[in-house]
Amino acid sequence: MPPLIDIKKISKTYTTGSFRVEALKEVSIQVNSGEFVSLVGPSGSGKSTLLHIMGFLDRPDTGEYFFAGHPTASLGEGRLAAIRSRMVGFIFQSFHLLKRTTAKDNVMLPMVYTGLGASSQKALDCLKLVGLSDRVKHKSNELSGGQCQRVAIARSLVNDPLVVMADEPTGNLDAVSRQEVMQVIKDLNARGLTVIIVTHDDEVSQMTNRVVRMKDGVIISDEVRRPSAASETAVTPLPPARHSFSPSEFLEQLKVAFKAIWSHKMRSALTILGIFIGVGAIISLMTISEGFMKSLLSGASEDDAKKIWVTPYYQHGRAPRRFTMNDVEAIKSRVPLAEKVTPILARNLKISVGDKHVDSSVQTREGFALEEQKPRDKFFENRKLTGRFFTKEENLNKAKVAVINQTLAKKLFDSGNALNSDIRINGINFLVVGVAEDHKAEQIFGGQPTAYIPLNTAAKRVFGANRLDYIEVAAPTPADAPEARRQIIMAMRAERGTREDAADDFDVKTFEAQIEMFKSTMGKLSLVVYSIAGISLLVGGIGIMNIMLVSVTERTREIGLRKALGARNSDILSQFLIEAVVLCVIGGALGVALGFGLGWAAYFFIKVPPTLSAGTISFAFGFSTLIGVGFGFWPALRAAMLDPIEALRYE
């Protein structure tokens, strides 16, 4: 049966710049289960290096190391981490307890990296074993030096290791605490636990059963002072490397992330500021844009969806060719799906009442037969209409009558009661025969003052022009609109004598095309805002990277401790990535609130309630997570690649 530790002719050399230090020179040693061994020697003798190699915190340059009967030279990082976690317990001179963390949580830390879950009861039992049952909830800064070392001893025992290794466990303690700690360690050995202690204190070495003296990297003596409970070791299977994260480990990483953020509140707040502003800008634009679309679509009736608009084609440097009534008649006669064809003139003119003048949109309609008004005109379907619409007879007679919307009525008449009142359009008096509720599109843009007058009246009395601005066509159903559009194009090309290979000098757009055009316009505006927000997010991401690099430097010892207790490189990598993501997600959540708030602030100007959809929220958090991973990866990788021994020694 092999010894627990069997080291054969190992050497270790450290290189610092041009200096080479031979810490170990072909050292051989065996330690059986149950032994109580002290490694003694002056500073620089190699005793700590030997202990670190025994505990898999370091690797030898040459030689062989068998642990519990298994060769260890070819073991990978994950397998070595599993051994440190479950088979070796460490006690350090400087305690290395997590700051602002209770004794129980410090003791539970090694269990996090076993992948087997954490047990509070096991931690309490270990604290009881070292006489600290009454200090379970005390934090490390509330304990004496001796009590801190006893917490470290309890931590080394919590995973039932095969061997406990202590590096100068009494070096920072007073005489009384030294006796207390050594008595605890002796009691553990008396229970059958293998203990190896590095010390330069002869008083401490006198308490051990075997003293191994070292000098200049070699063993100069190996003395058994008194018989121990040593026994041969059965070949114990080494634990497998972990390839996944346990729930307890993930919860520990989240807890550590929030603790790190909370302990540097001001720094964390400044770090997430860029993410907060960038996400807020993006979300505000998205909520306003979605609100626009929702308002447009909710205000659109089936009648709107049936409409097709024929408009002039605007080409740079050339005046557009406007329409005539011949174009209207061509559509009426050659488009079977044209249920209604409405020629329209539109101008922006001043409308006056007394000394009040309002810049308004003036649009034309042909009017309706009286029997069509049941109970309101099709043009004002889904809109409340006080009074009536002008008739076809009034259009033929060029009557000076008008229907105005509520926005114009409120601007011209303080009471808003404009029915049967006179207004002046381009210096001509008109009788208001109806007041209509604002169309949804008008409401979206803050209320646009609009007046509707008969087509013939506008052409002959007001505008002095017969050329039409556009033609509105209604198909029988929304599903017929695409085919009606095709028929309109063919009719217009035939009426205008357009050659087969020539381009159209007009545009024909359906309601769906108008919506797509609006989306395109909003997309161009969004691109500008997204670019500005992107700069803010880039600055925020750089801030995240910078603060994580600072955090890695500040917590170098903690990283070394976690690795010594069994954390893999991937555990450390994920720990710092989670912290970066948490920072970004907090910034993203606050950014969503800011963006939605800005959307409601904009409501008072554009009268469109913002819409915050699940997709928008998912985008915000997904994008924040991506920034956290992208900018946090380099600092996290640096932390993961730290050597545990160098990290523990970091000042």
Residue 127 and residue 156 in contact, taking contact as beta carbons nearer than 8 Å: no
Q: Tell me, yes or no, whether 266 and 340 share the same domain.
A: no
Q: Tell me, yes or no, whether 391 and 446 share the same domain.
A: yes
Single residue among 511, 533, 566 that ends a domain in this structure: 511
Q: Tell me, yes or no, whether 214 and 257 share the same domain.
A: no
Q: Tell me, yes or no, whether 284 and 226 share the same domain.
A: no
246 domain residue, yes or no = no
590 domain residue, yes or no = yes
DSSP string, 301-355: -HHHHTEEEEEE--BTTB----B-HHHHHHHHHH-TT-SEEEEE-EEEEEEEETT
Single residue among 457, 491, 511 that ends a domain in this structure: 511
Name beta bridge partners: 452.
363, 403
Query: What's the one-letter identity of residue 210?
Result: R
Q: Tell me, yes or no, whether 266 and 219 share the same domain.
A: no
Q: Tell me, yes or no, whether 173 and 99 share the same domain.
A: yes
247 domain residue, yes or no = no
User: Does residue 428 carry a pLDDT above 90?
Assistant: yes
Residue 114 and residue 160 in contact, taking contact as beta carbons nearer than 8 Å: no
- Mean pLDDT over each residue of the chain, to the nearest integer: 85
Q: Tell me, yes or no, whether 285 and 385 share the same domain.
A: no
Domain span at residue 176? 5-241
Q: Tell me, yes or no, whether 359 and 380 share the same domain.
A: yes
Q: Tell me, yes or no, whether 106 and 184 share the same domain.
A: yes
For the stretch 77-99, pLDDT in tens is 889 999 999 999 999 888 889 88
Q: Tell me, yes or no, whether 165 and 123 share the same domain.
A: yes
User: Does residue 274 carry a pLDDT above 90?
Assistant: no
For the stretch 566-607, pLDDT in tens is 888 988 999 899 988 888 889 888 988 888 888 888 777 766
DSSP string, 477-506: SGGGHHHHHHHHHHHHHHHHT--TTSPPSE
Q: Give the mean pLDDT of 317-337.
A: 88
Looking at residue 375, the DSSP 8-state letter turns out to be: S
Single residue among 511, 535, 569 that ends a domain in this structure: 511
Q: Tell me, yes or no, whether 609 and 641 share the same domain.
A: yes
pLDDT score for 330: 92
Q: Tell me, yes or no, whether 33 and 147 share the same domain.
A: yes
499 domain residue, yes or no = yes
Q: Give the mean pLDDT of 419-433.
A: 93
248 domain residue, yes or no = no
Q: Give the mean pLDDT of 494-515.
A: 85
As for how many domains the chain has, the answer is: 3
Residue 475 and residue 337 in contact, taking contact as beta carbons nearer than 8 Å: yes
Classify 412 as helix, strand or coil: helix
